[in-house]
Amino acid sequence: MSTSTAGSGSKSLKALCEEVKGILPERFREEGWYLIVASTLVACGKPEQLGPLYTYIVEEERPGRPLSHEEEKQLKARLGDLLMKEWTLVGIPAVVIALTTLAKVEKYKEENVQVPEKRKNIDIHTTIPSRGTKFLQQLYRENLAPIFASWGSYGPDFEWMERTVLYGLFLSDHEILSAVETELVSLPAIMCQGWPAPTIWHLRGFRRLGVSEGDVELVQRGIEAVATWAGRSVEGWPRVKDVPAVIED
């Protein structure tokens, strides 16, 4: 595994991964941790670090017991879904770099890989926007309409994009990553860009998915550890305790 370091002195990526796992709540220490690390690295302009991250997970995280072929296939599917979602939030160039560095280190290269069946017959008019709208409403609730209303005459076109493309096709697709795991991707992707309002929306959305305030705070601390390592300032980021109007079911 590469021992490259970023903005945090001489700390290796391996040491960073162990630090993040130690910060997070128990529920995210098995598989959620690397979603946070990977999404944060891409959002902070370090997509080339996904190759070393992948190698660490496959070969070094469990000393003496590297991942099996099936386990690696599952890891690849999860990281692929992460990047399929994250491009909608940070843009495609960083994601393409991440894909390239992952492809260089994958151990089992599948032959004759086909476009997934779910991509071949997409109902872009009914099923997909309905799915997107459902997840949007789960996260935003009464806050959704005012956000859409703030877009003026641009609203109808961009509301279609949110319901049908960003959420419909990608962020509401929970076949591989669950709704909560999707927020483990979305929150760092948005937070690391330094936008307060969208960060608040997703801190609040995370709570509305049933994650406790304490667990969300620990997730943010994990994100901040990676962002700091990558050379990104975390000063002034909103925190979950400051998010207003969290409505419990």
How far is 44 from 2, CA to CA, in rounded Å?
A: 19
- Say whether pLDDT at 43 is over 80: yes
Please, what is the average pLDDT of the chain? 92
**Mean pLDDT score, 210-235:** 97
**Mean pLDDT score, 193-202:** 94
- Domain for residue 140, yes or no? yes
- Domain for residue 7, yes or no? no
Which range marks the domain in which residue 91 is found? 13-110+122-242
Q: How high is the pLDDT of residue 6?
A: 60
- Domain for residue 247, yes or no? no
DSSP code at position 248: -
Report how far Cα 150 is from the mean position of its chain's Cα atoms: 26
Q: How high is the pLDDT of residue 161?
A: 96
Domain holding 190: CATH number?
1.20.1290
Burial of 208 from C-beta contacts in 10 A (0-12 / 13-18 / 19+): buried
- Domain for residue 3, yes or no? no
**Mean pLDDT score, 75-95:** 96
Number of domains in the chain: 1
- Domain for residue 5, yes or no? no
- Domain for residue 115, yes or no? no
CB atoms within 10 A of CB 59: 14
Q: How high is the pLDDT of residue 1?
A: 46
- Domain for residue 74, yes or no? yes
Residue 196 tokens read as 């307060």
**Mean pLDDT score, 169-173:** 96
Per the CB < 8 A criterion, the answer to whether 13 and 56 are in contact is yes
Q: How high is the pLDDT of residue 108?
A: 75
Q: How high is the pLDDT of residue 182?
A: 98
Q: How high is the pLDDT of residue 66?
A: 84
The pLDDT tens digits of the residues spanning 97-135 come to 999 999 999 877 776 566 778 888 888 999 999 999 999
Per the CB < 8 A criterion, the answer to whether 80 and 116 are in contact is no
- Domain for residue 102, yes or no? yes
Q: Name which residue leads in pLDDT, 242 or 24.
A: 24
